Chains A and B, each alone.
Chain A
Amino acid sequence: MAGSAVKAVNLEKWFGEGEARTYAVRKVSLEAGFGKMLYIVGPSGSGKTTLLSMISGILRPDAGTVVVQDKEIWNLSPNDIADFRLHHIGFVFQDYHLFPRLTTAENVAIPLIIQKHDWQDAIHQAMEILDVVGLKDRAQLNPVKLSGGEQQRVAIARAIVARPDILIFDEPTASLDGITGKKIIGFVKENILNEHRCILIVTHDSRIFEYADQIIMLEDGAIVKTVEGGLLEK
């Protein structure tokens, strides 16, 4: 599959009105293709997460458009956007947000279960994905019994189990040590990224920049630099 996976044009988000209006994101345009890993980087408060939320159909922009796979997502109804996220977008949250009362396999199966797959079928598919991320032997444990790196891989497994086209990572290495963080992102680049998938990563961890195909740097809600490849100055 070639071409644009995600295209955002003149995205804006502000909070407050009148003189109190504060821009979180201002006139940001970007495009990410299939088979690419796009990083959005910048200091805290630069609008990275807000931008990612608008692109992934979670936060409605105040201006601009987001086109994902030729579909302008913010023209959809709330339920349709939820459905769109469920079938096309996978999330790896910063704090993972795994369910401590469910087993690892059940955690991974959640997107399929929401898609109304049969329980056993969902668990079976989750086991296959856990095998991919090297955690099949941990399938029946609760996530709290796993290490940080393992939890991260469980979160990745959950994000990809429904075979989404777009993967969203929010600060994926924030809770990991440098070596584990690099291992995880290297693994993602080698095993998860493919020509049918686009990965967007919000991070300020310069140790993993080397894996990026494109880096967009934000400051005060606006793009200040775009770099092809992972060669952004640290």
Chain B
Amino acid sequence: MTGILKIAFKLLVNDKAKFAALIVGITFAMFLMVQLTSIFAGILKKASANIINIGAKVWIMDPAVNNPLNSIPMPDYILDAVRSIDGVNYAVPLYSSASLVKLNNGVYQAVTVLGLDDTSLVGRPQLLEGKIEDIYGADAFIVVRDQEYAKLDNPTLGTTFELNDHRGVIVGIAQVTTSGLFGMPTLYTTYRRAIQYIPNQRFTTAYILVEPKSEQDIPTIKARVAALGYLGLTKEEFIQRISDYYKYQTGIGTNILIMTITSFLVGLSISGQTFYTFVLENLDKFGALKAIGAKNRELVYMILFQAFFTGCTGYGLGVGLSALLINIAVRKVPGYAGNITYFNLGLAFVMLLVIVFVSSYIAARKVIRVEPFEIFRG
């Protein structure tokens, strides 16, 4: 650190009250920004929970599907048509629907039922308890132990329930990467049992899951599916499509954006004003430095350094605080959506840089204009 920056550092941190106010302002703004954008990222992740958990490389669906809640069943011949495409290693149907189960205590609970291909069980979850082959047993269902698990009265192996007047029994307890957005527990069963137990429309295949022979075959598969009048998307494209839906076709994206901008403006105004006051209070000192022989360029470096140091400290504290609270909330608060991504951190850092440069610019203008002669005049 050069001497002049060391002076700037000492002037900053030795003014404990101002430094604390600056740090609190930036930390609070960064905390809000990271928290809000992380919640949004968490919502998007949860919205794509089934796609992430099942993990198929290519998903075939009706072109009108834009989020997993609104799957539109496809006729059975589409499955055959897809299987006949060159480049398809295998293709299986997936049943996906919401339904109501009646628990032993008489309470009704909405659930998501996923019906896996009977032969291959492609997309099956990782079991914590029970054996996967038990899914072929009578009335068998696997329950996911996620944040919604308790809504089914914490079932254990052998727990029974009613699903559309059919008996259901828990034969396995599974874990998945992420739980869903809409607060519904998830039950896995076979495709055949799902369409037997749940009242259906004429067509029953919500999605066709495709394993291509190679990555290079994916464009061909998508093109052939499009020729059939349906939509083929890779897992990443499907997640992006869901994300775009929530961002642009619901109010969630807009509202989160507004809240993030608000927290940015709060941070900008608190830190900008505090930093400006800090510089104003030291204006005579900057003038004295100028009189002694410091150049404007050096004084601007000092201000930039002070702003950047404060900003980075506040950023670290804000991100740390946010990460800590999200970590606690994810474990303690059912349905909490919080997911810190590198994009969130990058976005917050860019906003921090804007705050730093705006605050520095306003303060530096004042310092550049101060005349050493004014120091003489007192």
Q: Do A and B bind each other?
A: yes
Residues of A that sit less than 8 Å from B by CB? 49-50, 52-53, 58-59, 79, 82-87, 89, 91, 93-95, 97, 99, 101-102, 106, 110-111, 113-119, 122, 170
Check A116 against B3 for contact (C-beta < 8 Å): yes
A84-B377 Cα distance, complex, nearest whole Å: 21
Among B219-247, those with CB < 8 Å from A are: none
Measured between C-beta atoms, what is the minimum distance from A116 to chain B in Å? 7
**Main SS of chain B's interface residues?**
helix
A64-B209 Cα distance, complex, nearest whole Å: 90
A101-B285 Cα distance, complex, nearest whole Å: 11
Check B293 against A99 for contact (C-beta < 8 Å): no
Check A87 against B293 for contact (C-beta < 8 Å): yes
A101 CB contacts on chain B under 8 angstroms: 10-11, 14-15
Interface residues on chain B, size class: 20 to 34
Contact with A along B286-301 (1 / 0, CB 8 A): 0111111111001000
A234-B3 Cα distance, complex, nearest whole Å: 46
Number of A-B contacts (CB under 8 A): 83
Check B15 against A97 for contact (C-beta < 8 Å): no
Which residue of chain B lies nearest to A96 when distances are taken between CB atoms in the complex?
Answer: B288
Are A114 and B292 CB-contacts (below 8 A) given A99-B285, A101-B10, A102-B10? yes
Check B292 against A111 for contact (C-beta < 8 Å): yes
User: Which of the listed residues A59, A87, A97, A170 has the most CB atoms from chain B within 10 Å of its own CB?
Assistant: A97
Q: Does B284 contact A (CB under 8 A)?
A: yes
Among B20-49, those with CB < 8 Å from A are: none
Q: Does B77 contact A (CB under 8 A)?
A: no
Which residue of chain B lies nearest to A111 when distances are taken between CB atoms in the complex?
Answer: B292
Check B292 against A119 for contact (C-beta < 8 Å): no
A94-B373 Cα distance, complex, nearest whole Å: 12
B298 CB contacts on chain A under 8 angstroms: 114
- Selected from A79, A84, A95, A114, the residue in CB contact (under 8 A) with B4 is A114
21 contacting pairs across A/B (C-beta < 8 A) = A58-B291, A58-B372, A58-B373, A82-B290, A83-B293, A86-B293, A93-B288, A93-B375, A93-B376, A94-B376, A95-B378, A97-B284, A101-B14, A101-B15, A102-B10, A110-B292, A113-B3, A113-B4, A114-B3, A117-B3, A122-B3
A19-B375 Cα distance, complex, nearest whole Å: 28
